[in-house]
Amino acid sequence: MFEQELLQKVFIHLLLKCSGFPLFLHKMKKMKKIVAITVIILLLSPTSLMLFAQKTKSISPSLLFSLNKVDTTALYYGKLNDSVYYIKFDKVEDKYAEGFFFVSSNDVFAKKHKFEIFKKRKSYILNFDEQSLEIKPDFIFTDKKIIGKYGVNKKFIKIFKNYKWSSYFEFRTHSSDELVTYPARYKEKIFDVNVIDDVYYGTAKGYWDSYLTESSSYIKIIENGVLSSVSKKNLDLGMDIYMPVGDTLKSRPLIMFIHGGGFYIGDKKTEAMVEWCKYFASRGYVTASLNYRLGFKPVGPSVERAGYRALQDAHAAMRYLIRNNQKYGINTNMIFVGGSSAGAITALNIAFMRNKNRPKSTYNSLFYDDQGNIESSTNEINDKFNVAAVINMWGAVNDLEILKNSQTSIISFHGDADQVVPINHDYPFKDIQGNFSSVILNKMYGSLLIHIAAKEIGIREKLHVFENAGHSLNVDVDNNLNENFNFISENVKDFLYAELVPIECKIISNPPTPFQRAMPYYKTTCDEYRDIYWSIKGGIITGKKNNMVKVIWFRDEIEHKLIVSGSYSNGAAFYDKYEF
């Protein structure tokens, strides 16, 4: 670049100092051949012509000005006499052009001035606003610029030429954003899913951690498990992690799913858990489904203690994921937990139970050992976390007071005829004959009472009640996924999206108006984003700063529309349009 500028200066110096062109050629012959060729090439460049023009005060119009070089698709803008002008050429021929121009201002609509320019002998005639001027253009056209000056003949008698020259100006083509739209991450399926099976997260003593007989009766299941619950053994506990394939986002929200089964049966490969994990991973989440300690003796507080073991294991699994957040690309500020039945009870306890709320049965007694604090089992990871939202599918809690421990949002689904986990305040497993539940279990507070309490203390919540429906709403009588599965998936998707994007990016005028109308300034309702793009129809965007734009509208256009698109830092997309 430095050598090019030096050669340009050498060329101009020689040209100006020579008494004639022959002398210039004579001096050129003394230069090396390669330098001479380079100078001749530079002679034809716009930069050289511009430097030459600055020395000679004028450029030959016949050499530089040709109307057919004008870009009729572009809008040119530049500064003249302390004002910013916008010029649009609508029609261009060899010796004729027409279009319009306007001056930038704070007016809502542009005041367009139509013009035409055509060649007459050795000069040009410019007509606009009932004025007619004889001008001599000294312009250089490049791909995106018009550089130069112009002279206006000020003589009353036009045959006497006396041009008053403007100062040099530079007009550029006005560029607008190429509107980039993003896939609707977290709303639509955009990824294939990869499953990492059997990720070990801890070891603990228990009876078993997998029992795939979810369709069997409770009595039959308990009979089969009596022999297995005689003594405990060390269990290596694992989970399956589902990842969106090809995702470039390095920090993604996590949903950990916990299967149901009365703390006695179930597995991380339960169909509903697998399909929910795939559903949300394909939309950009990291998801996980875990196995945890199962089994209890059908006596005394053993069932409650089994529920507490499930809580300890699920808490340990979450600590593992938090510790390995970079490995799996997890945003530790956006943690969600969900489950069905016993899994929902566990999910609620992860979010709301604290050590001060431990059931009495978990402490040391004559017949039972102390189970320790929530975070003291299964692994030694001590990472902290907060759950942003719970997906409660026909679950319950032992004590409504635990809801005061957190502002975790809750979305719930529950049948009002559920006899396994009550929607109100009642004993669980009332479908088992022989008054089994009232003998060894405590009453629980179901989803209806959870949401009444949550609303009273200001927790964001949404309850879906299924009339005359029982337990396991997501499967039919043959244990196959039904239409409720899709209903739950869609509603959870929307509920969690509001956690990820609490304020959606919409266009509003600045200042706001009660209805959409033409205004000079607009902004978005969000001021935190990763990328933002603007587009306009029926006007132009004359300025941008952060999430604000300044626009000028064209009154005679049929369509007036301002469009914004972009993405948030968490990868969610936004798109909005403002029309009047």
279 lies in the same domain as 300: yes
541 lies in the same domain as 468: no
- Of 283, 286, 288, 386, the residue nearest 330 (C-alpha): 286
Backbone angles phi, psi at 200, to 5 degrees: -75, 130
127 lies in the same domain as 21: no
26 lies in the same domain as 143: no
Strand partners for 533: 565
Q: Measured at the alpha carbon of residue 360, what is the angle toward residues 356 and 366, in degrees to the nearest 5?
A: 135
Query: Tokens 């040209």 belong to which residue?
Result: 15
Query: Tokens 């006899």 belong to which residue?
Result: 419
What's at 216, amino acid-wise? S
The reported pLDDT for the residue numbered 336 is: 98
Task: Round to whole Å and give the CA distance between 464 and 420.
Answer: 18
Enumerate helices (H) and strands (E) in the chain, giving the number of each: 13, 27
On whether residue 228 sits in a domain, the answer given is yes
316 lies in the same domain as 416: yes
What's at 175, amino acid-wise? S
Token pair for 351? 């979010």
Token pair for 517? 């109308």
On whether residue 181 sits in a domain, the answer given is no
Task: Round to whole Å and give the CA distance between 104 and 111.
Answer: 9
- What is the sign of the dihedral through the CA atoms of 414, 416, 417 and 420? positive
The b/e string for 401-433 (b: 16+ C-beta within 10 A; e otherwise) is ebbeebebbbbbbbbbebbbbbbeebbbbbebe
Q: Give the chain's length.
A: 580
CB-based contacts of 233, cutoff 8 Å, min separation 6: 205, 206, 207
471 lies in the same domain as 530: no
The reported pLDDT for the residue numbered 65 is: 59
3-class SS at 347? helix
Q: Are 59 and 46 in contact (CB under 8 A)?
A: no
Q: Which of 500, 535, 561 is the last residue of a domain?
A: 500
On whether residue 301 sits in a domain, the answer given is yes
- Alpha helices, H only, 376-477: 436-440, 447-456
Query: Tokens 């957190």 belong to which residue?
Result: 406
Task: Round to whole Å and give the CA distance between 215 and 431.
Answer: 14
489 lies in the same domain as 513: no
Task: Round to whole Å and give the CA distance between 54 and 302.
Answer: 95
What's at 160, amino acid-wise? F
20 lies in the same domain as 100: no
DSSP string, 369-388: -----GGGSS---------S
Task: Round to whole Å and give the CA distance between 534 and 188.
Answer: 23
306 lies in the same domain as 429: yes
The reported pLDDT for the residue numbered 450 is: 98
Q: Which of 471, 500, 529 is the last residue of a domain?
A: 500
The reported pLDDT for the residue numbered 15 is: 39
Backbone angles phi, psi at 452, to 5 degrees: -65, -45
The reported pLDDT for the residue numbered 123 is: 87
On whether residue 427 sits in a domain, the answer given is yes
3-class SS at 572? coil
154 lies in the same domain as 229: no
Query: Tokens 């550089």 belong to which residue?
Result: 147
Residue 45 is classified by DSSP as S
- CATH classification at residue 129: 2.40.128
On whether residue 137 sits in a domain, the answer given is yes
Q: Which helix (H) or strand (E) segment is 540 a member of?
A: strand 539-545
157 lies in the same domain as 239: no
Task: Round to whole Å and give the CA distance between 420 and 104.
Answer: 71
On whether residue 184 sits in a domain, the answer given is no
Task: Round to whole Å and give the CA distance between 209 and 268.
Answer: 10
On whether residue 73 sits in a domain, the answer given is yes
Where the chain has pLDDT below 50, the residues are: 1-28, 30-64
- CATH classification at residue 389: 3.40.50.1820
Task: Round to whole Å and give the CA distance between 500 and 567.
Answer: 12
The reported pLDDT for the residue numbered 436 is: 63
Q: How many CA atoms lie within 13 A of 244 on its CB side?
A: 27
21 lies in the same domain as 167: no
Task: Round to whole Å and give the CA distance between 360 and 366.
Answer: 13
Our CA dihedral for 321, 324, 327, 329, rounded to 10 degrees, sits at 50
Range 429-434 contact pairs with CB under 8 angstroms and sequence separation of 24 or more: 429/218, 429/262, 431/218, 431/471, 432/218, 432/219, 433/219
Strands 461-466 and 286-290: unpaired
Task: Round to whole Å and give the CA distance between 525 and 91.
Answer: 40
Domain range for 29 is 2-56
Task: Round to whole Å and give the CA distance between 253 and 186.
Answer: 10
For 470-490, the pLDDT digits (tens) are 999 999 988 899 999 999 999
* Structural domains of the chain, count: 4
CB-based contacts of 243, cutoff 8 Å, min separation 6: 193, 194, 195, 196, 281, 286, 328, 329
The reported pLDDT for the residue numbered 67 is: 72
Q: Which of 10, 26, 56 is the last residue of a domain?
A: 56
On whether residue 464 sits in a domain, the answer given is yes
